[in-house]
Amino acid sequence: MKVRLEKVKGTRDLLPEEMAKRRWVFERIRDVFERYNFHEVLTPTFEYTALFQLRSGEEVVEQLYAFEDKGGRNLSLRPDMTSSVARLYVNSFQNAPKPIKWYYMANMFRYEEPQSGRYREFWQAGVELLGSDRVEADAEVIALFVESYLATGLRDFTVNIGDRVLLDEFARMLGVEDDIGLMRLIDKKDKLSEEEFVKALKDFGLSDDGVGKVLALIEIKGKPDEVLPRAEELFTSDEAKAEIAKLYELVDLLGSYGVSDWIRIDLGIARGFDYYTSVVFEAIAPNDLGIGSIGGGGRYDNLIEVFGGKPTPATGFAIGVERLIPILEWKGLIPEPKLRPDVYVIPIGKDLELKKAAIEITSSLRRAGVKVDYELTGRKLRKALDYAGRLGVPYVVLIGKRDLENGNVTVRDMESGEQRTVEKEKVVGEVLGLLGL
């Protein structure tokens, strides 16, 4: 009995056209990361499950692809990279010069319900900056976050900045002991209708007055010069005032980076992970695809200690590539990939000398930087030309027995049909000239 094997739910087969588009996006983001002097790292695809249990919120732990290996070890596929990067730092880099600036581009795994822009295997491009507790580090990372999207051609988006210190202060003002539970509820506000959100807050134990204050808080969002004065009125503790002063400085520094047009303040941002300690942020690009946040991050000054390391401040972000690419395609910002070769080489006949000459020319053109394919199936001339035409190849090099005996080959312009005889030794220069290389 034949078995039909399907791909696993929540995964995808990425074809050449899709891979070319992804590579285009990754290359542009990578270029910005490296201009900011971040350096690439890659950690194992799976780690001890305990690593993620120590760090991640309850929701992420429930979504782990966890398993026991043949040695009886409890392992999980990584649901994110921050834990692995922190583990790497604790293992080997605690005494390295600071700050450490690392970036990654890798696949992650979470067992969640697939939907628009969300899969069980997905890719992220992100950075981690370890070793600076200063607002300059927050500004550097957020500016890089903005510039990464701009590098892909995206302009219609905002980076919304919130603050966990202010949210914790807000929870204290409400008399809420389970501040993490409240943060998780606030983080889900955009996934619920207002009626569902209000019910969830009441089920959590808030009074009508408390619910009203939460609804008022999440509406404190907009341009920094409009929002921060309102925050000063709402929060009166010394800790909150110091945090608001830091936000003012952060906004000023981001202005110096030239990214102010994309910056907003949103005090209702909690982010999904429990480990954030101060500034948090996320990117939103309006779309009709049902895609929400396309990336986010924040400061996590306590995580290294959780993993047994010395106290080390840190901040970073991750860009959701699976969410970004559909928006870029929807906006027409990714160029159509050119998968065809620039030249197709066809030996006319089965003679070994013709094949050898075709391979020599193909190899010489490739070494000269030309994208070249070579007739590998033994098609006759007409069918080989038809195939080259379907590929959209601009030029074909034909190698016939009589021409080769005279030291020549034929170069054919596939659009005009024009053919010219060229000395075999000069064909590389001829083709480079035709291609403008």
pLDDT tens for each residue of 380-419: 999 999 999 999 999 999 999 999 999 999 999 999 999 9
Q: Does one domain contain both 180 and 312?
A: yes
pLDDT value, residue 12:
94
Question: Under 8 Å CB-to-CB from 220, ≥6 apart: which residues?
Answer: 227, 230, 231, 234, 265, 266, 267, 268
The pLDDT assigned to 273 comes to 57
Who's near 14: CB < 8 A, 6+ residues apart?
Answer: 22
pLDDT in tens, 34-50: 999 999 999 999 999 99
Q: What single DSSP character describes residue 284?
A: E
Chain segment 232-263, per-residue pLDDT in tens: 988 888 999 999 999 999 999 999 999 999 99
Compute how many other C-beta atoms are within 10 angstroms of the C-beta atom of residue 99: 19
Q: How many CB atoms lie within 10 A of CB 246?
A: 17
Instruction: Show the domain range for 370.
Output: 343-432
* Higher per-residue pLDDT: 113 or 431: 431
Cα distance between the two ends of the chain: 55
Residues 313 and 412 in one domain: no
The residue type at 120: R
Torsion of CA 237, 243, 249, 250, to 10 degrees: -150
* Together in a domain, 226 and 82: yes
Residue 25 lies in a domain: yes
DSSP 340-371: S-SEEEEESSS-HHHHHHHHHHHHHHHHTT--
Using DSSP, state whether 283 is helix, strand or coil.
Answer: strand
The chain-wide mean pLDDT, for the chain, equals: 93
Q: Are 66 and 108 in contact (CB under 8 A)?
A: no
Instruction: Answer yes or no: is pLDDT of 57 > 70.
Output: no
Instruction: Say what the pLDDT of residue 184 is.
Output: 75
136 vs 128: CA distance, rounded Å:
14
φ/ψ region of 153 (left if φ > 0, alpha if ψ in -120 to 50, else beta) reads: left
Instruction: Give CA–CA dist 369/354, Å, rounded.
Output: 23
What distance in Å separates the CA atoms of residue 118 and residue 213, rounded to the nearest whole number? 32
Please give the Cα distance from 147 to 139 (Å, whole number). Answer: 12
**Is residue 437 one of the residues assigned to a domain?**
no
Tell me, yes or no, whether 146 and 281 share the same domain: yes
Percent of the chain surpassing pLDDT 70: 98
Of 296, 330, 364, the position where a domain reaches its end is: 330
Q: What is the pLDDT of residue 368?
A: 97
Residue 336 domain-assigned? Answer: no
Closest CA to 411 of 339, 338, 342, 340: 342
pLDDT-based confidence at residue 306 (cuts at 50, 70, 90): very high
Q: Does 2 map to a domain?
A: no
Of residues 140 and 219, the one with the higher pLDDT is 140
When pLDDT is averaged across residues 15-44 and rounded to a whole number, the result is 98
Q: Please state, as a whole number, how many other Cβ atoms lie within 10 Å of the Cβ of residue 61.
A: 16
Q: Which tokens in the block code for residue 246?
A: 């830091």
pLDDT value of residue 62: 85
Which of 330, 357, 376 is a domain's end point? 330
Flag whether 261 is in a domain: yes
Q: Is the pLDDT of residue 103 over 80?
A: yes
Position 174 confidence tier, pLDDT thresholds 50, 70, 90: confident
Whole-number pLDDT of residue 172: 84
| Segment 269-301, tens digit of pLDDT | 876 657 899 999 999 999 999 999 999 999 999
Same domain as 229, residue 125: yes
Residue type, 398: L
Q: Which of 330, 362, 385 is the last residue of a domain?
A: 330
Instruction: Tell me which residue has tokens 């009626």.
Output: 195
CATH of the domain at 140: 3.30.930.10
The 10 Å CB-count burial string (b at 16+, else e) for 383-422 is ebbebbeeeebbbbbbbbeebbeeebbbbbebeeeeeeeb
What's the pLDDT score for residue 208? Answer: 83
pLDDT surpasses 70 at 420: yes
Question: pLDDT digits over 177-219, tens only?
Answer: 777 777 777 777 777 788 888 888 888 888 888 888 888 888 8
- Among the residue ranges 28-37, 58-67, 83-92, the one predicted with the least confidence is 58-67
Same domain, 95 and 132: yes
pLDDT at 128: 98
More confident residue, 29 or 210: 29
Q: In what order do the strands lie in the sheet with 74-77?
A: 46-48, 74-77, 66-68
CATH of the domain at 412: 3.40.50.800
8 A C-beta contact, residue 269 and residue 231: no
pLDDT tens digit sequence for 326-361: 999 999 999 999 899 999 999 999 999 999 999 999
Query: Is 385 found in the same domain as 282?
Result: no
Number of domain units in the chain: 2
